[in-house]
Amino acid sequence: MSTGGSSQQPAEHRRADVRPDGRRLRREQGRLATLDAAIDLILAGVSPPTAEQVAAEAGVSVASVYRYFDTVDELRQACIWRYLERYHELMAIPDIGHHDLTRRIENLVDARLTFYETVEPVARFARREASRSADMAATLQRVRATLSDQIAQHFAVELDQMETSVRLERLGVIAMLTSFEGWDQVAEVGLSRDSIARAWGTHLRVLLDPSTG
């Protein structure tokens, strides 16, 4: 019986509408496999990997690599985002903005050290690529901005009590101190994780707590 103008499609058509596009799914799976192969090569010390090396690692043709990515630069930039997706939770500061200052400092320091120790190979690769790729430089800048925004949120109680110029100065110094470059500098001279944590903690306390001055 007619329902008086109902435009519902037959059930078999509705099922067809929601059925996954197999070709598109296979393409996305191949694209992700290619990215993971490139990341594995970088972690193994092949930096930067060529399209031929990535194809061999992924078990696909070079032509397939260029179907997924227009250029090698596009592939390399996508690698960074894929890698960060794997470890996205490590970028976060636990209980951001909560607890007393001592606990918040400890949470920031521990989160940053764990993040840098984990992403070190790809972070170095990204910084080398950024020197010749505007897109990669922009990607790095977005990551840095995210980390800086987290610091502003995490220490808002202390920073918001400062004059604007002082607040911006302190925020910039904290971001620089706890950056990948800052970590790399002190790790390179042989400081242990515990030593870095103590040094960062001491300086963060001075920057954020006026009573220590």
pLDDT of res. 7: 44
Residues near 96 by Cβ (< 8 Å), separated by ≥ 6? 107, 150, 153, 154
| Residue 179, helix vs strand vs coil | coil
CA 61 to chain centre: 29
Q: How would CATH label the architecture of 21-85?
A: Orthogonal Bundle (1.10)
Which stretches within 44-163 are classed as H helix?
A: 51-58, 62-68, 72-86, 88-91, 101-130, 134-154, 156-159
pLDDT in tens, 15-29: 445 455 788 888 888
pLDDT in tens, the chain (213 residues): 444 444 454 444 444 454 557 888 888 888 999 999 999 998 888 888 899 999 999 999 999 999 999 998 889 888 888 888 888 899 999 999 999 999 999 999 999 999 999 889 889 988 988 888 888 898 899 999 999 999 999 999 999 999 999 999 999 999 999 999 999 999 999 999 999 999 999 999 999 998 875
Distance CA 18, CA 25 (A): 13
126 to 132, 150, 154, 177: CA distances (angstroms): 10, 21, 26, 20
Query: Percent of the chain having pLDDT more than 90?
Result: 60
Report d(CA 169, CA 167) in Å as an integer: 5
pLDDT for 133 equals 84
Taking alpha carbons only, the member of 37, 110, 21, 114 closest to residue 69 is 37
Domain range summary for the chain, segments of one domain joined by +: 21-85, 90-212
Token duo for residue 184 = 């790399």
Total Cβ atoms within 10 A of residue 195? 12
